[in-house]
Amino acid sequence: MTKTSLLFMTIPLIPIVTILIKVQSSKVAEKQLSDDYELVQDCGEEKDCEGLSEALERLVNSNKNLQSYELNNVDLEGANLKGADLTLTDLKNANLEGVKLQRANLKGVRLQEANLQNANLHKADLGGTELQGANLQDANLQKAELRRTKLQGANLTGANLQKAELIFVDFKNASFKGANLKDAMILSSQNLSATQIKSACHWEKAIYRFDLEDKGIQSKSKVDKEANEEFIRSLEKDPTSNPKEVADCNKW
């Protein structure tokens, strides 16, 4: 048999080998994801669960379901969980410092006393999220949705809330010192004092009054400019509500 005939016999095998490699790679990947799921389930309340961040990142990148897991006290510092669906997950007391959670679904997530300092929550959905006592210092919450979110005792010092929606939110004892409220929607809030508002930066550029006729409270509802300006003027004219310390707003 000539070398030429051998070559022609070998060529058709190349696509078959390629397919076999892809199948094997797929099986390996599925096995890895299965192991990742098992790790997430087993971590529970372990603070130092080795490999958890990497496992969650792989699951998120594979669009896997991460809802309703028990992950309180875990350490996920710096993890990339952009776009993750963590609905109803328990992350109480978790360390989420610097975590990337842009566009993440965090509806109903339990984050009491969690550390979210410097976390990126740009356009994240925090509807009904429990953030009592959470540390959100210097967190990015631009365009985030916080509807019926529980922020009692939360630390939002220096947080960026530009264009965020804060609707039916409980702010009891929450700190806004130096937070950016430019164009933020703050509607039907509970336990939010004038002093809290004025401790933030650009509070006079936030939106507090909407024309709710027909549409109800929606992000596309028309701003009631007259009522909004009147409310802001009333705060400006009230010296008794001025915070004891003026916030440093240079970074905004």
- Per the prediction, the chain carries an average pLDDT of 87
Nearest to residue 84, comparing CAs of 55, 58, 60? 60
The β-bridge partners of 160 are: 140, 180
| Residue 145: its H or E element | strand 145-147
Instruction: Tell me the per-residue pLDDT of 6-58, one tens digit each, with 9 for 90 and over.
Output: 554 555 556 665 665 554 545 556 788 888 888 888 886 566 688 899 988 98
First to last CA, the chain: 78
pLDDT band per the 50, 70, 90 thresholds, residue 131: very high
Domains of the chain: 66-241 (2.160.20.80)
Rounded to whole angstroms, how far apart are CA atoms 237 and 252?
24
Check the CA dihedral 39-75-58-159 and report its sign.
positive
Q: pTM of the prediction?
A: 0.84
Q: How far apart are CA 168 and CA 84, in angstroms?
A: 24
